[in-house]
Structure formats: structure tokens, C-alpha cells
Copies of this chain bind each other. A is one copy, B any other.
Amino acid sequence: MGALQVKQLGTSEPRTQSQDSRDEILKAAMQLFANRGFHETSMSEVAREARVSKALIFWHFKTKEELFVAVLNRLLEPYFIDFAEEAAMDERAQIEKLAESYLSFVRDNASSVRFFLAQMLHDERLSESLNDQVLKLYSGYRAMLVELIARAQQKGICTRRTAPESAAAFLLSALNGLLIEYLFMGENAVDPEGAVAMVGEWLFGAPPGSSSTEGGGAPAA
């Protein structure tokens, strides 16, 4: 969970003027691209927002597209989630934690998730590399799930007999569905804990501490 933060600007390092202005430009472009998209954002706007001349942007970045991919890469930085396998937990807890961090990540990065999704949906040639990178992250996540489920089945913890690949795919689909529900309906319409509890029940049967009194998994209105 460590790598969830955006890289902080090292204010102590000796930064050149150039680096400073470059950073300012990237920051402005990031905001504008994310809120309006690529084609709807003009270089003049970026220049104004960054309080810099338009020519300077073209000094730092040869073309508008080069600026765009620089922004993409910067936006992607926080996406490399550190899924430290906490060996202490059993598989069920690990899987639920994985699902939880997926959802909380989406919650915390909603605007850029939205941006990436829109970008990938609609501007294919501009963001092939983005597509690749996201796909990589995605399949890594899926592989983790598959392995966890397989292990749980071997241990006999998981009662569901579905093939691990199918189960993982279904689980991921459910998570993605929550993602888009969240993006459209907003925070209040989604109940992450309830959803996580549901997939848990789906895979493993009754809730973990069902004999005692605990509030998890209660149906919401």
C-alpha cells in the first residue's frame, strides 16, 4: 500500500529554472487534460494556466502529443500499487483486502481513473501505450487473484468449485462494475463493504465471523 502516493516534488533538491517551469507546465496540462480531454484543451490554455508563454511549452515538448504522453506517464505513477502479500492473512482475507484496495484506489483517484477510461475508450491511437500499461496492471491483478483462489481451493477454504480463472474473471468484472457505477452514480450510491462481503460469501460461503455479532455484509437499502 506504500506506492499509492504521487511523487512529491523534492523541494530540497537543487532544481534548475527549466525543471521548475517544466513542472508547472505539466501540472497545468495534467489538470486541463484530465478535466477536458486532449482535443478540447489548447496549448494556449495550458500556457495561460501555467503562467508561461506558449512558445516555452514547445521548447520543453516538441509537440502537443509529446506533452500529452508526459502527462499520461505522470498520471500513471500512483497506479503502481504495492500489493504486499501479507503472509499472516489467510486467503479469504487476502482476497477481500485485494478487492478493498482496488475499490479504495478508485475512490481516491476517481478523476484520473475517469480520465483514463474515457481516453482509452475513445482515442485509441493516441493512447496505445496507456492501453498497454493499464492492461499490464490489470492482468497482474488478475493473476494474483487466480493464484489466491486456486490456493484457497486447494486448502479447502473455498467451497466454490468454479475454475480459478473463471472465478477471478467474474470477481474482477464485479469490481469493474462497481467502478463504473461509482464513476456515474457517485460515492453515495456504492457500498464497497457490502460488495466485498458479497464476493466473499460467494466464494467462501458464510461470513468469516458469522457466529459472533459483527456488522459486515449487512444489506443496505
> Is A159 within 8 A of B219, CB to CB?
yes
Interface string of A102-130 (1 = CB under 8 A from B): 00000000000011011011110000000
Is A101's beta carbon under 8 Å from chain B? no
> Is A220 within 8 A of B205, CB to CB?
yes
Chain A interface residue bracket vs B: 35 or more
Please give, as numbers and ranges, the residues of chain B lying within 8 Å of A179 by CB-CB distance: 177, 180
Q: What is the oligomeric copy number?
A: 2
Measured between C-beta atoms, what is the minimum distance from A134 to chain B in Å? Answer: 9
Question: From DSSP, what is the main secondary structure of chain A's interface residues?
Answer: helix
Measured between C-beta atoms, what is the minimum distance from A91 to chain B in Å? Answer: 13
Alpha-carbon separation in the docked complex, A204 to B118 (Å): 36
Alpha-carbon separation in the docked complex, A140 to B156 (Å): 41
Interface centre among A169, A175, A195 (most CB of B within 10 A): A169
Stretch at the interface among A2-10, A14-22, A55-63, A160-168: A160-168
Q: Which residues of A contact B (CB under 8 A)?
A: 37, 39-40, 114-115, 117-118, 120-123, 135, 156-157, 159, 162-163, 165-166, 169-170, 172-181, 183-184, 191, 194-195, 198, 201-202, 205-206, 218-221
